[in-house]
Amino acid sequence: MKIALAQLNYHTGNFEHNTSKMIEALNKAKSNGVDLIVFSELAVCGYPARDFLEFKDFIELCRENVEKIASHCVDGIAAIVGSPRVNPVVEGKDLFNSAYFLAEGKVKHITDKTLLPNYDVFDEYRYFEPNRQFNVIEYKGSKIALTICEDLWNLNENPLYIQTPMDELIKQNPDFIINIAASPFSKTQIQTRQEVLLNNALKYHLPVLYVNHIGGQTHMIFDGGSCITNAEGKLIAEAKYFEEDILECEMRNGKCDILNNLVISSGVERETEVAELYSKFHNIESALVLGVREYFHKLGFSKAILGLSGGIDSALVLYLASKALGPENVKALLLPSEFSSDHSISDSVALANNLGVSYETISIENTFNALQNTLAPYFKDTPFGLTEENMQSRSRGIILMAMSNKFGYILLNTTNKSELAVGYGTLYGDMCGGLSVIGDLYKTEVFELCKHINRDKEIIPNNILTKEPSAELRPNQKDSDSLPDYEILDKILFLYVEERKGPKEIISAGFDEALVKRILRMVNMNEWKRWQAPPVIRISSKAFGYGRRVPIAGKYLN
């Protein structure tokens, strides 16, 4: 049996786009003699569809488009495609997350997802009923164990679910496993995902054919990495990352022969620590560039604007935006105040010129002075302080948003994860924006990614990488005036946010007790700010936003 694994980019709710893309791939596969083409989880409607799934019309459109795809499954080709479907039983949730097996112009078999993730960014049990029936698919002399994403993820020392679908399907002696998935990218996901697939192959002594999405859906990035694992638990072929791709193979007596796109993963066996570090930051850069490009493309935007301060965060965002959208579609605004250093301006100009991005310089001094004069009668006899610092940030926000409104730019936010965590930012000022590009990168990671970008030549001026971080809102201000060294801060934040360690555990790891309690209190007390922040492109296992849900008014650690 000749099989094609189609790794495509879908658009949530864009049925015409999704279906035409699959039909085009199907027809090409048919002309190439393919017997079965496999598309990913919920490909018909896009993933995640969220509360669109509560609209009957949306589900009806899913059904109609499955039938449309089925009508092209003739002349010897079959397809597997993911789509929601109505649960015919009154009791339970209204829908199943399903994989349709289409052949001879119609639906021949339906497999429903058993294990429904309900953690981090996943919320599937909100919508779907779990499967309780297990049957292999027989096609062209082979038995196929068809599974959907999480169905293969219950092989660990602390199982999340009480059932493992393959333990049931293996009783029917399948010849190989197909897994259709919507597995989003994170810094550790590629390695974890490969381990899951290899462990399934080893446990059940079967080849595993895996198909994933690529593309961006607001904050979630799908990196692809569709692959084939043989029955001995070896990765034998892998599709491209962050690009559409198709793998073709042939199954013969339980053995898999690769027909095209033989790309053995560079991530499976790395020879040096340097190569591993390169791979990590190469993937992060690719994910962020894809995330920006997809956010603009799928919302119909084309041009971005941002404030370029001379600091490392805005420098990185400008680089990523110019790479994602093209430098001709990006505008930088230099917004100096009386506290801005000369090198902040010169560094910003050098970066913009390096990237070929147009820029304008607009001083905020008049705007800030006007605000001070307006409030002078009310601020009489009070010292210059945080309020005045925030007024400068909000002056910049007003100018950036005005340019955005007038000329059709989307403002990109430049706040990093460290700042977002501890509230080191001004609402309606530097926290403005339609998309948070680096809000899931700690400050130390921002520096490392910039060093990676400069590995071959100086793109980001070296002075930006070496100078001490500062918001430049008062004379001689440094981030270290109010925050611990980022090397320490980020380690504490990582333990609390990603690892969900409490204060006692973090202190026992060797950190100062008073500092830990102060930092954790800052994180909790600033949850209300994060609720008003723009969506954050997710590249970690626990990003701020949809995947981290804590109370605004909770007392824990406050």
- Please give the full DSSP string across 86-137, using - where no structure is assigned: E-SSSSS-SEEEEEEEEETTEEEEEEE------STT--GGGTBPPP-----E
Residues forming a β-bridge with 227: 210, 238
Q: In the prediction, which pLDDT does 275 show?
A: 65
Confidence band, pLDDT 50/70/90 cuts, at residue 343 = confident
What pLDDT digit, counting tens, does each position of 145-197 carry?
999 999 999 998 788 999 999 999 999 999 999 999 999 999 999 999 999 99
Burial of 457 (0-12, 13-18, 19+ CB in 10 A): exposed
Confidence band, pLDDT 50/70/90 cuts, at residue 377 = very high
Would you state the torsion angle of the CA atoms of residues 397, 403, 405, 407, taken in this order, to the nearest 10 degrees?
-160
31: tokens are: 């002309």
Is 113 one of the catalytic residues? yes
Q: Which residue has the higher pLDDT, 212 or 275?
A: 212
Confidence band, pLDDT 50/70/90 cuts, at residue 277 = low
Going 280 to 281 to 284 to 289, the CA torsion angle's sign is negative
Q: In the prediction, which pLDDT does 265 show?
A: 40
Terminal CA-to-CA distance of the chain, rounded, Å? 61
Q: Is the pLDDT of residue 529 over 80?
A: yes
Q: How many CA atoms lie within 13 A of 55 on its CB side?
A: 10
8-state DSSP, 65: H
Catalytic residue among 2, 21, 30, 113: 113
Cβ neighbour number for residue 141 with a 10 Å cutoff: 9
Q: Is the pLDDT of residue 320 over 80?
A: yes
* Domain 2-260, second-level architecture: 4-Layer Sandwich (3.60)
Residues of the chain with CATH 3.60.110.10: 2-260
Confidence band, pLDDT 50/70/90 cuts, at residue 542 = very high
Amino acid at 525: M
Catalytic residue among 45, 62, 73, 149: 149
The pTM assigned to this predicted structure is 0.94
Q: Quick check: helix, strand or coil at residue 32? A: coil
Q: In the prediction, which pLDDT does 449 show?
A: 97
Q: In the prediction, which pLDDT does 141 show?
A: 93
- The residue behind tokens 């109505």 is 86
Cβ neighbour number for residue 285 with a 10 Å cutoff: 19
- The residue behind tokens 């006007």 is 370
Q: Is the pLDDT of residue 470 over 80?
A: no
With contact defined as beta carbons under 8 Å apart, do 384 and 395 qualify? Answer: no
Q: Is the pLDDT of residue 386 over 70?
A: yes
Give the chain's count of helices (H) and strands (E): 16, 20
Catalytic residue among 2, 21, 41, 298: 41
Reference 164, options 115, 111, 110; nearest CA is 115
Residues of the chain with CATH 3.40.50.620: 274-479
Cβ neighbour number for residue 293 with a 10 Å cutoff: 18
Q: State how far the Cα of 406 lies from the Cα of 385, in Å rounded to an integer.
A: 32
Which of these CATH numbers, 3.40.1370.10, 3.40.50.620, 3.40.50.300, 3.30.365.10, describes 274-479? 3.40.50.620
How large is the average pLDDT for residues 207-232? 96
Q: State how far the Cα of 543 lies from the Cα of 215, in Å rounded to an integer.
A: 18
548: tokens are: 């981290």
Q: Quick check: helix, strand or coil at residue 42? A: coil
How large is the average pLDDT for residues 119-123? 94
Q: In the prediction, which pLDDT does 244 show?
A: 97
- The residue behind tokens 């789509």 is 83
230: left (phi over 0), alpha (psi -120 to 50) or beta: beta
Is 41 one of the catalytic residues? yes
With contact defined as beta carbons under 8 Å apart, do 519 and 492 qualify? Answer: yes
Q: Is the pLDDT of residue 274 over 70?
A: no
Confidence band, pLDDT 50/70/90 cuts, at residue 495 = very high
8-state DSSP, 479: G
Q: What is the mean pLDDT of the chain?
A: 93
Q: In the prediction, which pLDDT does 404 show?
A: 97
Q: Quick check: helix, strand or coil at residue 284? A: helix
Q: In the prediction, which pLDDT does 272 show?
A: 52
Q: State how far the Cα of 94 lies from the Cα of 112, in Å rounded to an integer.
A: 13
Q: In the prediction, which pLDDT does 273 show?
A: 56
140: tokens are: 């062209």
8-state DSSP, 537: P
423: tokens are: 């509230």
Q: In the prediction, which pLDDT does 278 show?
A: 75
Q: Is the pLDDT of residue 269 over 60?
A: no
